[in-house]
Each structure stands twice: as C-alpha cells, then as structure tokens.
Amino acid sequence: MNFDWSEADNDLKQRVCELFHPEALGELEGLEKADTPNVRRITKRFMKDLAPTGYLRPPAKDQILSLQAGQEEVARISSSLFMSIEVTARIFGGLLAQWPESPIISDIVKAVGNGEVVGAVALTEPALTTEDGPASKIAAWDRDHCILNGQKDFVTNAPIADWIAVVLDEDSGKTVCLVRPDQKGLVMGPRLATLGYNGLAVSSLEFVGLDIHKDFVFGPFSDTVIAEHLYQTQDLTLAMASVGIMHATIIKAKQYAQSHRREGKPIFAHQEIRFKLAEMLTLYQSSQLLVFRAGWMISSKNPEAAVMVKCAKVFASEASEKVAAMGMQILSGQGYIMGNFIERAFRDSKYAALAGTTSERARMQIADELLAQHG
C-alpha cells in the first residue's frame, strides 16, 4: 500500500493550488453570502478554471486515489465550492459516465469535463406513507414517454443546475431520467436556508406531469449498480470535505495561537493550547489516512472498499466536528463571532454526519459487514 503521490498527482495538486490566488480567494469569500445567480456564476467561473487541469473529468475507479491529491486542496479552500463541484463532476458526471454508448450522455459528460455544465442528482424522496407503505413511486409510462408526478427533497445544485439526473425506484430496479430545470412540469422549490455550507444551492423539486422522452431515460438497472456509485461516491466526497475543513481549521487556529498574546506571550506557548492543537492534528492526520486508504482500496478494487468508505466517513465527519469545536475554543470569543472562518467551519462540519449515509446507519452497515466476514 503506497500513498506517495506520483509526479502527475503532484502536478494536478500544484495546478489546482495555483488557481486559488489572492484575488480568487477574495471572490470565494463572497460565495458564502451570494444569491443564487451569483452562486451559479462563481461556481461556473471556478469550474471553467479547473477544467484544463483535468480535475472535472469523472475518474475511472483506478484513478480515485490520484484525484484525492487535488480534492483535499479544493476542500480546504472552500467546502461549499468543493461540494458543488464534486456533485457535478463525481456524483452526476460519474453516474452518467457509466453509459458511454449514448451520444446524449457522452456530450453531457464532455461538457462536465470542460466546466460548461453544472449537474445535480435528485435521489431523496419525502418520508410520505400510505396505508400500503411508503409512497415512493412517482413514474408512469405513456408509450415512449416517462411521466413524473411527485417530489424529491434536498437536491444539491438544483437551483443552479443545467441538468438534473432524477433517480427513480421501479419494480425492476433503478431508472435515471435526465431533465432540465426549465422543463414544463418541473417546479423548483425555494433555495433552502441551511445551517452550514451557505455557498451551496440546495432545494426540493416537484414534478407535475413532467414529460420525459425515452431518449433521456436510462435503465432500469439493478439497485446495486446505481447505489454503489451514488452512495459510495457521496460518502467519500463528504469524508474528504471533512478532511479539508480540519486542514483549514488547524491552519487558522495555529495562526491565531502564534499571533494572539496572553500574559505577555503568544497563547501557543501555553500547554493547554498546544495540547488542543496536537489533538486537532492527530484527528486530521488519522482522518486523512483513512480517506486515502478508502480511495486506494477503490482504486485497487479491494472487496472491502465499500466498508472502508463507511469507516472513513464516520471517523472523518465526527473528527471534523471535534476539530472545529477545539478551534473555536482556541479563538475564544473571536471564534464565536459570525463571519470568521472558524465559526463557518463549526457550522459546516456538522453536515457530513447527516448527509449521505448517516453516521448511525453507516455504523450498522459496518457492523453487518464485520459479522458477515468474521461471524
């Protein structure tokens, strides 16, 4: 197991870092308070800059680890931008890349790689029930057309997307429908006000007789084919986002500890501050190693990759909450003021434990895998 970056990996990391010069960082600061049109403008601006590096191309499974060299840098610089780009390039683009034989799909995947398209995936449905159980079937067929009536919740990028992949549960498996946000029959909900990731555009979708031609419908496919990509990619993305938050938090907390003085000396000289920074670094490095190991296992087609992604996601997401809390403690009152990075990291860090496979559900799946292997 070798986590040393190759020359090409280091080149990608360097090229990504060079894009985020002081002027670009200043523009990114505005992302957290931007209205929806400006979120789209800023996101597409950085996607266009990233495109020549190859960062946006959906990677083959054996390239996951190599991509992580650049991913951590973007996650460190802006968790909101990172999440929006990863939803487009990895979750949406990676989903579509599984069907290269379709000219429609190929054109969209190429546009994603060129930074021309923002994508979204509509997966989560409201927790509605009927007397017969969950009311989740929202699709019906009329000759060559799929007609959608229903709702999807918490769709990241939906308000700024060019294309949305709607994942449907059908009796024969999962089906993917490609729709444009301006299609008749698609009602975009208001952008949701979230606790963290304020530079991310999220909304619900309602379908009212949305008519989709069969050329834009793919499937049905077995649940495992779709679920393996969507949930595994989403969980690994959230784990990397947590690593990026920790990395940036440690840098900011260290800078403050070296510059802020108490009792005539920098607070970094006080043992209690050093202990906190040491623990923060330990949690960050451990999380980073787990996430890289998960990427390596996917790249090497290790049969235990799926459970390792869950382990990395649980550990990194919960570690980022602890690191953000310790960073705020180091900054004291300064860290509690709205608008500074530590306060933002404190809010952003909670998201990963709730999104994707929740920490509670992931723990159950890890335990199931443990019993299956060693029971």
CA-CA distance, 348 to 80, in Å (whole number)?
9
Q: Given a cut of 70, is residue 9 above it in pLDDT?
A: yes
Say how far apart CA 166 and CA 90 lie, in whole Å. Answer: 16
Q: Which of 74-78, 224-228, 368-372 has the lowest mean pLDDT?
A: 224-228
Task: Select from 1.10.540.10, 3.40.50.1820, 3.30.70.260, 3.40.50.720 the CATH code of 7-118.
Answer: 1.10.540.10
Q: Is the pLDDT of residue 8 over 50?
A: yes
* Residue-wise pLDDT tens digits, 25-40: 999 999 999 999 999 9
- Mean per-residue pLDDT for 185-208? 96
Residues 6+ apart with CB under 8 A from 220: 170, 172, 173, 174, 175
> Helix (H, G, I), strand (E, B), or coil: what is residue 95?
helix
265 phi/psi in degrees, rounded to 5: -145, 155
| CA–CA separation, 241 and 94 (whole Å) | 18
What residue type is assigned to position 216 of the chain? Answer: F
CATH number of this structure's domain 120-221? 2.40.110.10
User: Among the listed ranges 156-170, 180-194, 243-257, 259-273, which one has the minimum average pLDDT value?
Assistant: 259-273
Residues 6+ apart with CB under 8 A from 75: 82, 240, 241, 243, 244, 245, 247
Residue range 58-94, pLDDT digits in tens: 878 778 988 998 999 999 999 999 999 999 999 999 9
CATH class of 224-374: mainly alpha
* Tens of pLDDT, residues 266-296: 999 899 999 999 999 999 999 999 999 999 9
Element (H, E) at 209: strand 202-213
State pTM to two decimals: 0.93
pLDDT surpasses 50 at 351: yes
CA 217 to chain CA centroid, nearest Å: 25
Question: Do residues 152 and 205 make contact, with C-beta atoms less than 8 angstroms apart?
Answer: yes
**Domain range list for the chain:** 7-118, 120-221, 224-374
